[in-house]
Chain A
Amino acid sequence: MNTTNMLLAAPEFWVLIMACVILIADLFIREERRGIIHMMAMITLVFAAIITVRGDYLSEGLRSATAFNGSFIRDPMGDVLKLFSFFILGIVYVYAKFYLRQFRMFRTDFYTLTLFALLGVMLLISANSLVTIYLGLELTSLSTYALVAFDRESKRGSEAAMKYFVLGSMASGMLLYGMSMIYGATGSMDLADISVAISNQDGDSMILVFGLVFLVVGLAFKLGVVPFHMWIPDVYEGAPAAVTLFISAIPKMAGFAMAYRLLYTGLGDLHTDWQQMLSILAVLSIVLGNLAAIAQTNIKRMLAYSTISHMGFILMGLLPGTADGFGASMYYVIVYSLMSAGAFGMIILLSARGVEAEQLDDFKGLNQRNGWYAAIMAMIMFSMAGVPVFVGFFAKWLVIKAALDAGLLWLAISAVIFSVVGAFYYLRVIKLMYFDEPLTESPIDAPVDFNAVISLNGLLMLGLGVFSGSLIAVCMSAFGA
């Protein structure tokens, strides 16, 4: 085993170094020139992407390479997820800059914390042992706890951060407990070794399944699926929109990767056990998320519940345990992150100076105020509802196919029925924008970069749908399908 090929982790090192550089640079940059920090963060992302793409690490006939005694893995799936993390974080930065400036919170901490969270996400994506998983998870979580309380004056923000911290720590505890059981049963921290040990039936299967339950609970907490979803609505509502934007988009990528590494790479032989658990979590999330979203008047809460239901759909893709299924899940998570980024971007756009546009009524009559912004939001909403030809439909299509591949017809049927229920609240946003009269005539203005990025984000909903073959092919080939 190659133990020293540290270059495999070059993107991670780069992000780490740049996060530290930005932290120090802040000391020397005056407040009014803080745009430089933004530029540095963007450059970090661009070069991280270049380094990731240029990394030529695969030797003949192999689909992955490991480093650090096998605790770190580079594979096409990880690269794809990382690249989309960089891309979507870039979008997030553009939206966030506009927001933070308006709300007088344009501080460097936002960039360092998000970059450290990104580092955690990257570690999680490339984790190949229980220790790395835990490390990446905690790095992500601690950074996001702090981000939620980013607005120091806001009581709601502090409350949400506290809740998030307490529940998140509990989840970490559960995960750690489960990991210790798995370690006890198999005698290894390395996912590949664990997998070998299980298939040789070395460990006590009782302890293994017990450990699995705790792992799934921890995972479910982090992804925010029912019945471990309680923190999501409060955190989404309490955090500043720029932070909610980040939380809703980036860590989900890591959540998917973690589920894949843990459940498939590590515990693939317990497939029948975790399939049952995940299918119940999935259906509960889809049902409860979609029903609860209908009752919301706050759009951040509505999107929180919508996230819960989307997470249910992502779990559906994991169920068959096949390359097609994981590809479907990965496609869904990428598409979801794009949609979510766009939706929160719209909230930021409509936020007038110092007041977040977090009520659904703030969207009233948007079509009359600005037709193009309304069209962007409409595309995002139709996409989230899963209406063709928007990209969200293809994501739903693939995970429903995965559920049918796994032979879970009941799950597929409940998923489609509740996606129709879900369509109702997405349509309500469109109704507010197109069928109602505006409450205010004040013009909406945004900087050029914001306009360009949100237009791109909206058009991606349509473009990735009409030309859906390419991204689907990328996701499928990442798993060798």
Chain B
Amino acid sequence: MASNWPILSILIWLPILGGLAILTVGNQRAPLARVMALVISILVFVFSIFMLMAFDPSTAAMKFSELSPWIAAFNVNYHLGVDGFSVPLILLTTFFGVLVVIAGWEVIQERVQQYMAAFLIMEGLMVGVFSALDALLFYVFFEAMLIPMFLLIGMWGGPRRVYATIKFFLYTFLGSVFMLIGLIYLYIQSGTWSILEWQDFPLTLEVQKWLFLGFLAAFSVKIPMWPVHTWLPDAHVEAPTGGSVILAAIMLKIGGYGFIRFSLPITPDAAAALDWLIIALSLITVVYIGFVALVQEDMKKLIAYSSISHMGFVTLGLFIAFAIFQNSDGGEGAALGVEGAMVQMISHGFISGALFLCVGVLYDRLHSRMIVDYGGVAHTMPWFAAFAVLFFMANSGLPGTSGFVGEFMVILAAFQANFWYAFLASLTLILGAAYSLWLVKRVIFGPVGSKKVAKLEDINAREALVLGTLAVAVLLLGLWPEPLVNLMHASVDQLLAHIQQPKFTMAGN
């Protein structure tokens, strides 16, 4: 692999241009659109593997940097680069890029070329979000990503799709415009849009707090945290299976990534001063939303709430670092928290994606997402039942699966911050098990629920391939998380060292 290839640009533009090319195929030639989408997404995934192999995890510096002027009048650059935080997320994105194309292979029969194009364009934009080092470029990718998702939910979604998709769009749009004001303010102060330069740019505590709140508005909606989570269950329920998968597996992670890339390093003192707020919101998210998930009767809604609850762990893991610094001088636990948050993001990507695919498999056959319509699926679909049980177990944090690793790391770190944080966070192990296993009991086990269930056919080779791949990923990450942690170790250390340096002293406050 030639090291001077613009590998990040390839990862961004190949799917976008490929998607546009698929649009020209036309309505009549659906098979061609499918094949093209599959080829392009596999190519992108292969390229991302190349990137992983060429990536040197020993330093925290940005790799594969690309820099060229974009809007010279305002010092905006097309600046890309990746570190230990972005590489795993980019791989997750390209991985799911392939899976959703396969998952939508037979299910989508109308306007196939537009469906496939929307996914590919979205994939490119999401890779862009994870690799942008220029704040305006980041914002452009961050927002542009809403367009294909908006169309996906609206065009191929369920009965209340219009309500859900407009709510999704406006909610996230409203959150991010506040961030835009913050970004413009930072540019006026610093004269640059470079995220890396902003990280070293001195700011008073007062200013940092406002900026922090601006970032929070954008990323808390995206991740999402209680109380701005209400768009997610609607969007998930109405979205087509592929849309739900991308939404849960990757789009939510962009919120977490935003906290890592913006909130923590650019406004570290505000993050330290306001960490109580994030921790409180995270714990409420983890516990309260866990209870909410328990009472859901719609499978997709249950998984959506479970996603929100799990994402609470991510924000918790990221922001307990400050409390740990105060309690111990080593800061070992802080690294555990941040790494736990990252592992949790990746693992939740696999698990939630897999769960939505499982529901999709059932939905394609019975056209119902209601738990009461099922029962005893294990009798008619034994293979499917095996996969579904594995994923729900992983969702409840069973040791040996990836779900356990991230949660365990975060809880362990939380103990070093405050016993009660850890106590509340641990409740999720009970709640998660309760709603996951109760769903399994009602849907998968028990006597066959209805005649329709009795006629169900087991998963075909295509579905088995998708679920099998994910099962391998979940187990692999659960049993051997070492490579993933190593990938980000240097970046985590650098982030933690950075956020311990107060910035406002430099600003002369």
- Contact of A420 with B170 at beta-carbon distance under 8 Å, contacts A388-B139, A413-B181 already known: yes
- Contact of A417 with B181 at beta-carbon distance under 8 Å, contacts A427-B166, A472-B73 already known: no
- Contact of A388 with B154 at beta-carbon distance under 8 Å, contacts A413-B181, A416-B180 already known: no
Q: Say yes or no for B140: interface residue by CB 8 A criterion.
A: yes
Q: Is the interface of A mostly helix, strand, loop or mixed?
A: helix
Q: Say yes or no for B169: interface residue by CB 8 A criterion.
A: yes
Give CA–CA (A393, B136) in the complex, Å.
11
Interface hits, A369-397 → B, CB 8 Å: 371, 375, 382, 387-389, 393-394, 397
- Contact of A420 with B174 at beta-carbon distance under 8 Å, contacts A401-B188, A435-B154 already known: yes
Give CA–CA (A375, B117) in the complex, Å.
13
Q: Say yes or no for A405: interface residue by CB 8 A criterion.
A: yes
Give CA–CA (A393, B76) in the complex, Å.
15
Q: Smallest distance from the beta carbon of B162 to chain A beta carbons, Å?
A: 6
Q: Say yes or no for B34: interface residue by CB 8 A criterion.
A: no
Contact check, A435 vs B161: say whether CB atoms are below 8 A apart.
Answer: yes
Give CA–CA (A428, B169) in the complex, Å.
12
Interface hits, B166-180 → A, CB 8 Å: 166, 169-170, 173-174, 177-178, 180
- Contact of A416 with B178 at beta-carbon distance under 8 Å, contacts A393-B140, A434-B151 already known: yes
Q: List residues of chain A with CB within 8 A of the CB of B111.
A: 367
Contact check, B184 vs A401: say whether CB atoms are below 8 A apart.
Answer: yes
Give CA–CA (A419, B180) in the complex, Å.
13
Q: Say yes or no for B2: interface residue by CB 8 A criterion.
A: no
Interface hits, B131-181 → A, CB 8 Å: 136, 139-141, 143-144, 146-147, 150-151, 154-155, 161-162, 165-166, 169-170, 173-174, 177-178, 180-181
Contact check, A469 vs B71: say whether CB atoms are below 8 A apart.
Answer: yes
Contact check, B143 vs A431: say whether CB atoms are below 8 A apart.
Answer: no
Q: List residues of chain B with CB within 8 A of the CB of A473.
A: 71-73
Q: Say yes or no for A455: interface residue by CB 8 A criterion.
A: no
Contact check, B177 vs A420: say whether CB atoms are below 8 A apart.
Answer: yes
Q: Say yes or no for A242: interface residue by CB 8 A criterion.
A: no
Q: Smallest distance from the beta carbon of B296 to chain A beta carbons, Å?
A: 26
Give CA–CA (A413, B181) in the complex, Å.
8
Give CA–CA (A413, B150) in the complex, Å.
25
Contact check, A389 vs B155: say whether CB atoms are below 8 A apart.
Answer: no
Q: Say yes or no for B187: interface residue by CB 8 A criterion.
A: yes
* A388, A435, A473 interface centre (most CB from chain B within 10 Å): A388
Contact check, A388 vs B144: say whether CB atoms are below 8 A apart.
Answer: yes
Q: Smallest distance from the beta carbon of B16 to chain A beta carbons, Å?
A: 10
Give CA–CA (A469, B72) in the complex, Å.
6
Interface string of A445-481 (1 = CB under 8 A from B): 0000000000000000000000011001100110001
Interface hits, A398-444 → B, CB 8 Å: 400-401, 404-405, 409, 412-413, 416-417, 419-420, 423-424, 427-428, 430-431, 434-435
- Contact of A401 with B72 at beta-carbon distance under 8 Å, contacts A416-B180, A431-B154, A434-B154 already known: no
Give CA–CA (A50, B386) in the complex, Å.
73
Contact check, B154 vs A387: say whether CB atoms are below 8 A apart.
Answer: no
Name which residue of chain B comes closest to A469, CB basis: B71
Q: Say yes or no for B70: interface residue by CB 8 A criterion.
A: yes
Give the contacting residue for A423; candidates B71, B76, B151, B169; CB below 8 A. B169
Contact check, B147 vs A387: say whether CB atoms are below 8 A apart.
Answer: yes
Number of interface residues of A (CB under 8 A): 37
Give CA–CA (A45, B494) in the complex, Å.
60
- Contact of A417 with B174 at beta-carbon distance under 8 Å, contacts A401-B188, A412-B181 already known: yes
Interface string of B1-41 (1 = CB under 8 A from A): 00000000000000000000001000100000000000000
Interface string of A256-280 (1 = CB under 8 A from B): 0000000000000000000000000
Contact check, B73 vs A400: say whether CB atoms are below 8 A apart.
Answer: no
Give the contacting residue for A400; candidates B150, B162, B184; CB below 8 A. B184
Contact check, B184 vs A404: say whether CB atoms are below 8 A apart.
Answer: yes
Give the contacting residue for A404; candidates B73, B161, B181; CB below 8 A. B181
Q: List residues of chain A with CB within 8 A of the CB of B71.
A: 394, 468-469, 472-473
Q: Say yes or no for B185: interface residue by CB 8 A criterion.
A: yes
Q: Say yes or no for B50: interface residue by CB 8 A criterion.
A: no
Q: Smallest distance from the beta carbon of A349 to chain B beta carbons, Å?
A: 20
Q: List residues of chain A with CB within 8 A of the CB of B468.
A: none
Give CA–CA (A427, B168) in the complex, Å.
12
Interface hits, A120-136 → B, CB 8 Å: none
Give CA–CA (A472, B73) in the complex, Å.
7
Q: List residues of chain B with CB within 8 A of the CB of A401.
A: 74, 184, 187-188
Contact check, A427 vs B73: say whether CB atoms are below 8 A apart.
Answer: no
Q: Smallest distance from the beta carbon of B464 to chain A beta carbons, Å?
A: 33
Give CA–CA (A405, B178) in the complex, Å.
16
Q: Say yes or no for B69: interface residue by CB 8 A criterion.
A: yes
Give CA–CA (A431, B166) in the complex, Å.
9
Give CA–CA (A401, B352) in the complex, Å.
39
Contact check, A389 vs B169: say whether CB atoms are below 8 A apart.
Answer: no
Q: Kindly list 14 other residue pairs between chains A and B, CB separation below 8 angstroms, not including A367-B114, A388-B141.
A: A371-B114, A382-B147, A389-B140, A389-B144, A393-B143, A400-B184, A413-B181, A423-B169, A424-B170, A427-B170, A431-B154, A435-B165, A468-B71, A476-B73
Closest 10 CB pairs of A and B: A416-B177, A388-B140, A469-B71, A435-B154, A476-B73, A388-B143, A420-B174, A389-B144, A401-B184, A388-B144
Chain B interfacial positions (CB closer than 8 Å to A):
23, 27, 69-74, 76, 111, 114, 136, 139-141, 143-144, 146-147, 150-151, 154-155, 161-162, 165-166, 169-170, 173-174, 177-178, 180-181, 184-185, 187-188
| 24 A-B pairs whose Cβ atoms sit less than 8 Å apart in the complex | A387-B144, A387-B146, A387-B147, A388-B140, A393-B140, A393-B143, A397-B184, A400-B180, A400-B184, A401-B188, A404-B185, A405-B188, A409-B181, A413-B181, A419-B177, A423-B169, A423-B170, A435-B154, A435-B162, A468-B71, A469-B69, A469-B71, A469-B72, A469-B76
